[in-house]
Structure 1
C-alpha cells in the first residue's frame, strides 16, 4: 500500500523525524518466527508450499517477495521493541498483522509481527508481563489464537462486533462495539475497559496495534470516529503506558479511507502524539 511509503515521507516533511530516526530491518529467521508460529506452517510458508485452501484464506498469491516483506515486518517490530526499551516508545511504520494465528494466515496477514516480538521478549527475558492492546476496527483474532492460554501475555481487543472476522477468537478481554459509534462513546468505553486491564496485568511491556480504520471515513470500518477522536484514543493508550512505566511498541495496522490523505494523516497523528507525550 502507498501509505507505507507516504508515512515516513510525511514525518520527514513535517520535521517530526529525521533520517537518523529510522532503522532498517533484516529478515527474521525461522527460529524466531517459530516462537509464536507453528513450525510446520512456517516451513510451508518459507518454502512457498502452502496448500491452495490456506492461500485463499490469506488472500495473497504466494511469492518470494511477499515472504521477504513479511519477514522484514517481523524483524522491524522486534527492532522497535529494543528502541522502545531504550526510549519508552518506538514504531514499526507498517506491521500490525494481527489476523495471522499460530498455524494459519488470514486476512492478508501471513506472520503476526507483534505476536512474534512478544514471544521474543519473553524468550530473551526482556519482559515478564506483556499486554497487547489492539485498537484496529477488526478483532485481533490471530493474536488471540496464539496467546489464548498464555499466562504472561494478555490480549485486549476493542473492535467492531459485526465486522471482520465474523467468527472471532477469544482474547483475554474483548470489547465489541456497535456500528456507527462516535468519539465520546468510543473513548469512554476504551478508558472504562482498558484502564482496569492495565491495573490487572501491570505490564512491563506493551504492544499497541494502532489501526486507523476506526475513522468514519474508512470504507471498511463502520465506526464513526473523527480524526480528533482517533488522536485522543492514542493519547489514552500512551498515557496509560507512561503511568505504568511500560515501554510501548506501535505497529500501524489497518486504514482504508477512500482519500489516502485521511489514512496518512491519522497514522502520522499517532506519531505526533507519542513524540509530544514522550518529549522525543
Structure 2
C-alpha cells in the first residue's frame, strides 16, 4: 500500500491573511502539490474534546472551543482565537491521531499539518494552539496502539511544550534538535536535547543528526515514533537562524525515515514550522518528508516516487 496521507480542508484557516508571519497557505499548496501527482488523502474527524484533555488544561480547551481565550494568551499564540482557528486545530489534532493509527497498520503515515510543539498543558504559544503530537501520543498509549513513544523533533525551535507535557511520563521519550540561540528563550529539558549554534549548515547538522538518532533509539526503544519535520532550519527561513539547503533537508528526512524503517518502528510524520514568505517554497520543502517516508517504507522492488524539483 502507498504511504497513507491525512489531510482535512480545515488545515488551511482562511481567516489568517497572507500578510501574517505564519504562511497558512502552505497547507493547501502542499495538498494541491501532492494531488497533482496522484496522491489521495484520508480525511480525519475533528478531535473530540475528551482527547484534548489528555494533554491540556480543560479550562484552556473550553476557552479555545468557545472563542473566549483571553487577549494575553491569544497574543502569545499569535492568532485571533476564532471558530475557524478552533476548527483548524481540532482537525490538526484529529489528523495526527488518525496518522498514528495508520502508521501502526502500514509502517508509516503522514498528516499534512501538525507539529504544534510549543503548546503546553497550560496553553498555547508560538502559533501552536493544541499540541497535536502530545494528544496523539496519549491517545495511542490509551488505546493500546503502542507501549513506548519517541518524539523526534527536528523543527528549528525547541519543542518546549512537548517536553513539559511529558516531563513526568516515562512512556514518552522527547528529543529535540534545534537552534540553541533561537526562541523559546526558556527551554524546559527534553529527554534528549541537541542545541546547534546559529548558522550551522548541512554538514554540521547532518553529523549531529547521526548521533542524535543513535542515542534516541538506544535509550528510548520506542514502538511508535512521531517525527516533527519542520523546514524552518532552511537558510531562507525568516525565523530559523540555521543554514540548511534543500538538499540538507532532504537528507535529514531520509536519515530519520530510514532509521525508523530499519528498526521496523511505525512512524508518524507531521509538518512543523516553515516561515519563508514564499509559501509555495515552504510547501515544496514539506513534501521532502512525505517522499522520505514513502521511500523508506516502500515494498522491496517497488520504486517510490521522488520529489519533483
| Distance in 1 between residues matched to 2:69 and 2:279, nearest whole Å | 33
How far apart are residue 61 of structure 1 and its match?
1.1
1:125 to 2:135 alignment: no
- The alignment partner of 1:154 has SS state of strand
| Conservation of the 8 A alpha-carbon contact between 2:67 and 2:81 | yes
CA contact (8 A) 2:100 2:109 kept: yes
- What's the C-alpha RMSD, in Å, of the aligned pairs? 1.2
TM-score norm. by structure 1 comes to: 0.95
Q: How many angstroms does 1:169 deviate by?
A: 1.6
- In 2: Cα distance, 1:103 partner to 1:4 partner: 27
Q: Which residues in structure 2 correspond to 1:1-280 (within 5 Å)?
A: 1-15=24-38, 17=39, 19=40, 22-279=41-298
Q: Compare 258-267 and 128-137 and name the one that shifted more.
A: 258-267
Alpha-carbon distance in 1 for matches of 2:279, 2:47: 30
Structure 2 length normalisation: TM-score? 0.86
Secondary structure of 2:109's match? strand
Displaced runs of 4 or more, over 6 A: none
| CA deviation string 1:18-55 (max 9, x = no partner) | x2xx0112221111111111222212222222222212
Deviations 1:208-235 (A, max 9, x none): 0000011111111111111111111111
1: CA distance between counterparts of 2:65 and 2:37? 38
Determine if contact 2:269/2:290 at 8 Å carries over to the other structure: no
The SS at the match of 1:263 is helix
Q: Considering fraction of residues, name the structure with more helix.
A: 1
Secondary structure of the 1:132 match is strand
Q: Equivalent residue of 1:133, what SS?
A: strand
CA contact (8 A) 1:217 1:258 kept: no
Structure 2, unpaired ranges of 5+: 1-23, 299-303, 305-309
CA distance in 2, matches of 1:261, 1:120: 33
Count of residue correspondences: 276
1:176-196 deviation digits (Å, cap 9, x = unpaired):
111111111100101112212
Q: Distance in 1 between matches of 2:66 and 2:293?
A: 39
Per-residue CA deviations over 1:55-82 (Å, capped at 9, x if unaligned) read 2211111111111111111001111111
Q: Secondary structure at the match of 2:177?
A: strand
After TM superposition, give the deviation of residue 12 of structure 1 in Å.
2.3
